Amino acid sequence: MKNCCIFSCTTAWEAVRSSSFEAVEEFGGEGEGYSWSDGCKKLLRCKNCGALFLNYRMKFLAMGYSSDDISYSYYLPVSNRVEAIEYMNKFMESGRLSDSYDKIKIWFDGAKWCWNK
Ligand SMILES: [Zn+2]
């Protein structure tokens, strides 16, 4: 799998800022039964190079001790739709997709954009 062109940027923040994605498919929906309110998952395609990403966002609601909701966002490169669904199913089982995904990725940790490039 060839890495997306956004990984040629100097920083993760720059990569996200310069990225241009189109949604190929939305896997939905609210994360019922989970502590997060938005389990939105999408298959995205880079408009520049065609690389595919599984994108998922989670939002933890403010729990009283904090006035801010915390959002996390992950961009996980995948070879194809089937691979995206495999990772998504793993996530639904464990809620810890980012731990089991060991390839290059970009994520927002609630404060800043990070990557493991
Ligand atoms: Zn690209």
Work out the percent of the chain whose per-residue pLDDT is above 90.
44
- Per-residue pLDDT, 37: 47
Residue 105 has pLDDT above 80, yes or no: yes
Sequence ranges of the domains in the chain: 5-115
- Per-residue pLDDT, 23: 94
48 CA distance to ligand 1 centroid (A)?
A: 5
Burial class (CB in 10 A: 0-12, 13-18, 19+), 97: buried
- Per-residue pLDDT, 28: 63
Is residue 13 within 8 Å of residue 35, measured between CB atoms? no
Q: What is the pLDDT of residues 14-65, one digit of tens each?
A: 999 999 999 999 886 554 444 444 567 889 999 999 999 999 887 666 555 5
Range 76-83 average pLDDT: 94
117 CA distance to ligand 1 centroid (A)?
A: 15
- Per-residue pLDDT, 32: 46
Strand partners, 71: 59
18 CA distance to ligand 1 centroid (A)?
A: 10
